[in-house]
Amino acid sequence: MKIAIAGAGAMGSRIGLMLHAAGNQVILIDTWPAHIAAIREKGLLANLNGQEVVAHLPIYSPTELPADLQVDLIVALTKSMQLDQMFQMIQSLIHPTTYVLSLLNGLGHEDTLEKYVPKENIIFGTTTWTAGLKGPGYAELTGTGAIEMENIEPSGKEFTLKVVEVFKKAKLNPMYSDNVRYSIWKKACINGTLNGLCTILDCNVGELGNLTVTKDLITAIVSEFAAVSQQEGIHLDQASVITAIEATYDPETQGRHYPSMYQDLIKSQRKTEIDYINGAVWRKGQRLEIPTPYCAFLTELIHGKEQLLNAK
């Protein structure tokens, strides 16, 4: 399959590397000049569970895409706030037979993608894979994960099942879902605890799990997500979500991992996705007249930390 990774950061590097290793024609698209230059010079380097690997993949900035380039699938892995701009710039890639698989964190991305891709060509998914960047062109890839996906419209199921098979050969542990919206809300809820709290408390996932205050904090945040999602027809099982969050504390799985929001803000001083996670729940809660004080406070704290770090 011909596949473009739109947003070849940490997770895009992982997905692109594994799809390439399985024999697919993969191109990377990114906007970070140093990352593009490093991959062009040395290939995409990765520490994959302790093994150093390299993949020589073509990489472009969105403005460099050849006019005649066509792909079967675009995997959207930008940051949430970059999705609209990315798809504005890569419209030449999109043809009537091009599908888009969105694996972004957060909520509300269908509204953006429907401006550029027919609804029947959109696949939504969520992933438990983790990834980090040690520097331009060098990914740190540890642990294992899975991907869940479902087409928005029934007519897209045939192609989605093909994507599942392609991802299966790449050992990305995919599964076809009959209710991916539940999984997206569940993943957003997990991120709504781990991302913001680890960033504010300056710790990794395992360190967060060892704090005596953590249980009360995650219980409160999860209850707010559940109250808002209920109004959108998604009944979040709060106990199972909390169990899933607590499972990440194990240092043998994800406990040593610093969430993407931490990597963005603490390591790179970049804007975070908080407005598409806790901020989205806060905004929805305001419209629905559902109190979400923890999500509101965490959103404001992250924005405050963004301002402080960017001012230095």
| Whole-angstrom distance, CA of residue 101 vs CA of residue 223 | 29
DSSP code string of the chain: -EEEEES-SHHHHHHHHHHHHTT-EEEEE---HHHHHHHHHH-EEEEETTEEEEE---EE-GGG--TT---SEEEE-S-GGGHHHHHHHTGGG--TT-EEEE--SSS-HHHHHTTTS-GGGEEEEEE----EEEETTEEEE-S---EEEEESSGGGHHHHHHHHHHHHHTT--EEE-S-HHHHHHHHHHHHHHHHHHHHHHT--HHHHHTSTTHHHHHHHHHHHHHHHHHTTT----HHHHHHHHHHTT-TTTTTTPPPHHHIIIIIT----SGGGTHHHHHHHHHHHT---HHHHHHHHHHHHHHHHHHH-
Residue 125 burial (10 A CB sphere; 0-12, 13-18, 19+): buried
Q: Kindly name the residue from 2, 168, 186, 187 that is annotated as catalytic.
A: 187
In the annotation, is 168 catalytic? no
Active-site residue numbers?
187
